[in-house]
Amino acid sequence: MTAASPLIRLAGITRTYGAGAAAFQALNGIDLEIDEGEFVAVMGPSGSGKSTVMNILGCLDSPTAGSYTFQGAHVESMTRDQRALLRRHFLGFVFQGFNLLSRTTALENVELPLIYRGEPATSRHAAARAALQQVGLAGWEDHAPNELSGGQQQRVAIARAIVTDPKVLLADEPTGNLDTHNSCEIMELISGLNRDRGITVLMVTHEPDMAAYARRVVRFKDGRVDSDHRQEERA
């Protein structure tokens, strides 16, 4: 990797679902470069391919064609195991629906990615406690998701995403299930992770008020990038 190369580069990415007459092209050739430290909001109508591209970036899905490079490494030609390693070591994912394990405490939920990485119990507990503290949930370690508000559940999910110290946080409509007050708190938290820890953030949102926290807005339309502009960070 040279100093000038972006952290993430998508070139000519397509994704076709199904085959033959039923084939549907969800992505029609996405070109996108993201530098380390950026905070990017991804907007666009429902069905425009936002989640599809996030899933490809998060190594949860593979493109039909095109190239995806992460720190100069070609993700599209990696094996499943190599992509899983990339995901576990460099990427954190937050979803609209929180996706927490229901009969499991906040602490155990946050520890999960470290279990996948084979970390010993003592360091796992310590890291998970620190991550919960960072998202403002010190004292809530032993609570299960159904004992937490939606905003608190999303905080647990963010703690789980950052406990591995990722380079990139991918958030697909992280405030989609939250009221305005909780949404703003989650956005303050995500902005802080970008600003203070230098985590690169890509966030899908429908809401202009949430996109205002980002410094760049990429709009999708019909599986393509329709516009891409930089903006002043929200005061």
Ligand X SMILES: Nc1ncnc2c1ncn2[C@@H]1O[C@H](COP(=O)(O)OP(=O)(O)O)[C@@H](O)[C@H]1O
Binding site for ligand X (CB under 6 A): 17, 24, 26, 44, 46-52
- Which residues between 42 and 61 bind Mg ion (CB under 5 A)? 50-51
Give the residue with the Cβ less far from ligand X, 51 or 152: 51
Interacting partner of 151 out of Mg ion, ligand X, none (Cβ under 5 to 8 A depending on kind)? none
Residue 116 touches which member of ligand X, Mg ion, none, C-beta under 5-8 Å by kind: none
Question: How far apart are the two ends of the chain, measured CA to CA in Å?
Answer: 34
Asked whether position 69 contacts Mg ion by CB under 5 A, the answer is no
Residue 182 or residue 205: which is nearer to Mg ion going by CB? 205
> In angstroms, what is the minimal distance from the CB of 195 to ligand X?
26
With respect to Mg ion, which residue has the nearer C-beta, 110 or 178?
A: 178
> Binds 49, which of ligand X, Mg ion, none (CB < 5 to 8 A, cut-off by type)?
ligand X
How far is residue 61's CA from residue 93's CA, in Å, rounded to a whole number? 13
CB of 144 to Mg ion, least distance (A): 27
**Nearest CB to ligand X, comparing residues 43 and 106:** 43
- Residue whose CB is less far from ligand X, 48 or 205: 48
Question: Measured from the CB of residue 58, what is the shortest distance to Mg ion in angstroms?
Answer: 13
> Taking the complex as a whole, how short is the minimal distance between the CB of residue 124 and ligand X, in angstroms?
33
Comparison of 45 and 198: residue with beta carbon closer to ligand X: 45
- Please choose which of Mg ion, ligand X, none residue 48 contacts, taking the beta carbon within 5 to 8 angstroms, the exact cut-off set by kind: ligand X
What's the chain look like in SS3?
CCCCCCCEEEEEEEEEECCHHHCEEEEEEEEEEECCCCEEEEECCCCCCHHHHHHHHCCCCCCCEEEEEECCEEHHHCCHHHHHHHHHHHEEEEECCCCCCCCCCHHHHHHHHHHHCCCCHHHHHHHHHHHHHHCCCCCCCCCCHHHCCHHHHHHHHHHHHHCCCCCEEEEECCCCCCCHHHHHHHHHHHHHHHHHHCCEEEEECCCHHHHCCCCEEEEEECCEEEEEEECCCCC
Nearest to 166 by CA among 102, 215, 93: 93
Look-up of token digits 């994704």: 15
Residue 11 CB, shortest distance to Mg ion, in Å, is: 22
Minimum CB separation from ligand X for residue 201, in Å?
A: 17
- Tell me which residues touch Mg ion (CB under 5 A): 50-51
